[in-house]
């Protein structure tokens, strides 16, 4: 059995890589939504910080929400422990700790990612350069994932790495959806309008799913259709259902390899079962924000159980 410290290092290495990418995606979602609004878009910038869970930290430093402040707070601010640069630093530190468990290709891709983003984020980022910076973040983190897939054995090392990826991705997909429905829509009067539909389309673009959605739905874009796609469609690699299917598979693989069952496996299965009992119609009737809030809490609890079950800090 792998040492808990090594398992934790792999898990958090890939959680932090995924978190960096998803922070970039969250920023892009809010930035594009701000462009659909006639006003300054300050609500969008505030919503991004709120959904990222960084509002108390942000408000300790700033009194208002401007594009420049939020962009740099989330990308490179040293006072933000969850900034892209901070999470990339953590990912590299974890990679160094577990370097003997990684292929040389994975280590080199991680180190190159860190060097490239350190150079990219050495100076403040403004709105005119934001798109290119976010594209670089997504590209560099995807190279690390590609190296993992192309060079690593499908053993417990791979399983802990993928668990970190999909736990973080599930959490962040829920948060990106929440940015749209909980905060950004100005009023119930806008539901179904061109503003509402444009914001839902931005959600698709922020998770690189616009083309696949249109291909499956013959170009018909509706809030219900997009929410269903992002929550339940297991063909979409950032949907909640896809993430939890992958989480379940990796936990099952660890159960077989270690010949022991854990509470985390039972909770993951319970979350999958609860999702299968819902439809997008029932979720909207009961409240999308409430559903997403419960989902995020469940995912946080699952992560804690994984850490406990596999003795990451034991």
Asked if residue 179 belongs to a domain, the reply is: yes
285-303 pLDDT, tens digit each: 888 888 998 999 999 999 9
The verdict on pTM exceeding 0.85 is: yes
The tokens for 128 are 């005119």
Is residue 98 a part of any domain in this protein? yes
Residue 314 lies inside a defined structural domain of this protein: no
* pLDDT for 190 beyond 50: no
8-state DSSP, 158:
H
DSSP codes joined into one string, 84-111: HHHHHHHHHHHHHHTGGGS-HHHHHHHH
**DSSP assignment letter at 40:** -
Per the CB < 8 A criterion, the answer to whether 229 and 213 are in contact is yes
What's the total number of domains in the chain?
Answer: 1
Give per-residue pLDDT as tens, 102-158.
999 999 999 999 999 999 999 999 988 999 999 999 999 999 999 999 999 999 999
How many CB atoms within 10 Å of residue 303?
Answer: 20
Q: Which of 18, 130, 11 is nearest to 84 (CA)?
A: 18
**CB 238 within 8 Å of CB 230:** yes
pLDDT tens for each residue of 79-102:
999 999 999 999 999 999 999 999
Establish if 33 belongs to a structural domain: yes
Residue at token pair 């990684």: 102
What is the rounded CA–CA span in Å between residue 133 and residue 153? 32
Average pLDDT over residues 217-245: 89
Residue pair 65/42 in contact by the 8 Å Cβ criterion: yes
Above pLDDT 70, what percent of the chain? 90
Which residues constitute the domain of residue 55? Answer: 4-309
304 inside domain: yes
């Amino acid at each position: 059995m792998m040492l808990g410290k090594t398992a934790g290092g792999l898990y958090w290495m890939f959680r932090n890589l995924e978190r960096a990418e998803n922070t970039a995606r969250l920023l892009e979602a809010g930035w594009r939504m701000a462009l659909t609004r006639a006003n300054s878009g300050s609500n969008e910038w505030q919503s991004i910080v709120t959904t990222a869970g960084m509002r108390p930290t942000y408000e300790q430093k700033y009194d208002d929400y401007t594009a420049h402040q939020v962009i740099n707070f989330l990308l490179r601010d040293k006072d933000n422990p969850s900034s892209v640069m901070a999470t990339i630093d953590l990912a590299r530190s974890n990679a160094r700790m577990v370097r003997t468990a990684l292929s040389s290709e994975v280590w080199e891709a991680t180190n190159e990612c860190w060097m490239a983003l350190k150079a990219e984020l050495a100076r403040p980022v403004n709105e005119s350069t934001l798109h290119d910076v976010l594209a670089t973040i997504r590209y560099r983190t995807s190279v690390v994932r590609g190296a993992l897939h192309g060079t690593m054995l499908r053993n417990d090392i791979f399983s802990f790495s993928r668990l970190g990826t999909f736990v973080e991705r599930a959490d962040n997909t829920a948060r990106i959806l929440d940015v749209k429905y909980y905060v950004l829509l100005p009023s119930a009067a806008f539901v179904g309008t061109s503003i509402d539909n444009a914001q839902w389309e931005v959600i698709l673009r922020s998770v690189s799913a616009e083309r696949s959605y249109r291909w499956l739905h013959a170009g018909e874009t509706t809030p219900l259709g997009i929410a269903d796609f992002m929550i339940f469609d297991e063909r979409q690699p950032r949907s909640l259902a896809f993430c939890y299917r992958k989480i379940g598979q990796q936990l099952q693989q660890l159960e077989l390899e270690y010949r022991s069952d854990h509470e985390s496996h039972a909770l993951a299965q319970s979350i999958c079962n609860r999702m299968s009992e819902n439809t997008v119609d029932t979720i909207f009737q009961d409240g999308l924000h409430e559903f997403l809030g419960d989902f995020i809490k469940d995912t946080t609890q699952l992560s804690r159980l994984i850490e406990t079950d596999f003795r990451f800090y034991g």
